Amino acid sequence: MVDDPGRIWRRAAERRRAGLDGDRIAAAALRLADAEGLAAVSMRRLAAELGAGTMSLYRHVSGRDDVVELIVDAAWGSEPPPAPTGDWRADLRALAGRTRRILLAHPWLAFEAPTRPRFGPNALRQTEASLAIARQADQDIDRAAALLDAVMSFTFGAVQRELAERRAERNSGLTEDEWRRTIGPYLREALAGGDYPHLRARVVDGADPDHAERFAFGLDRVLDGIGAWLAAVRGER
């Protein structure tokens, strides 16, 4: 067998039949990741959290990667995907909003989820629901997939940026202003040279953007672009 991405999920189904604790592992790991970050989810730590021996975990999970795969899917399952209502624009917006909410609720997820395609039950349900929504805009599966991809690409990218900024704020002092004074010595020196007029304008004159507002702005641009394109495609027919 070359590589079997379906392994864990088949196994999970079997376990459920046998009634064992693959779920407990996932639940404990998710709790740990949310509380102390994904790095804190080590096999030893996780086992300790469950009051079990480290190697016992390997009976239910084939390694740490499996644990991560499990909690990624569990996180996606924390809020059901929205159902199509007939208004593709509103539905796509709701879908993006749900995605952002979930990513913000599990800050490790945004950096782990996009590393490879996932096939957990919740991921499957979610993809299905997303395609159902996208096909309201265009029944053609390839065009629907393409426009969904554009929306989701933006969503992930935007939330990652948001999380990175949030983390930077958390890390150094407290406020965005405080942070500026921390990086100050270096950045001020760089800006003082006059080599970066636009950067300087952004830092000095620019307003601190509201994250939610930023997200909504970008999303609206994407949806506008998709709307215009749909109109053009329909016009051609």
Partner DNA sequence: CATCGATTGGGTACACCGTACGCATCCAGT
Partner DNA sequence: ACTGGATGCGTACGGTGTACCCAATCGATG
Interface residue list for DNA (CB under 7 A): 18, 20-21, 41-45, 52-56, 58-60, 63-65
Instruction: Tell me the two tokens of residue 76.
Output: 């996606």
Residue 107 interacting partner from DNA, a copy of itself, none (CB closer than 5 to 8 Å by kind): none
Binding span for a copy of itself by CB under 8 A among 18-26, 46-54, 67-75, 181-189: 181-189
Q: Would you say 165 and 155 are in contact if contact means Cβ atoms under 8 Å apart?
A: no
Report the distance separating Cα 143 and Cα 133, nearest Å.
12
Measured from the CB atom, the residue of 32 and 102 that comes closer to DNA is: 32
Task: Tell me how far, at minimum, the Cβ of 56 lies from a copy of itself, in Å.
Answer: 25
Task: Tell me how far, at minimum, the Cβ of 34 lies from a copy of itself, in Å.
Answer: 18
Nearest to 148 by CA among 140, 78, 108, 111: 140
Give me the amino acid identity at 201.
A
Task: Tell me how far, at minimum, the Cβ of 137 lies from a copy of itself, in Å.
Answer: 12
How many angstroms from the chain centroid is the CA of residue 116? Answer: 12
Binding mask 103-142 for a copy of itself (x = CB under 8 A): --------x--xxxx-x----x--xx--xx--x-----xx
Q: Would you say 92 and 223 are in contact if contact means Cβ atoms under 8 Å apart?
A: yes
Instruction: Tell me the two tokens of residue 210.
Output: 């509201």
Measured from the CB atom, the residue of 65 and 87 that comes closer to DNA is: 65
Report the distance separating Cα 212 and Cα 136, nearest Å.
26
The footprint of a copy of itself on this chain (CB under 8 A) covers a number of residues equal to: 73
Among 55, 83, 190, 233, binds a copy of itself (CB under 8 A): 190
Binding mask 39-78 for a copy of itself (x = CB under 8 A): ----------------------------------------
Measured from the CB atom, the residue of 59 and 202 that comes closer to DNA is: 59
170 CB burial (10 A radius; 0-12, 13-18, 19+)? exposed
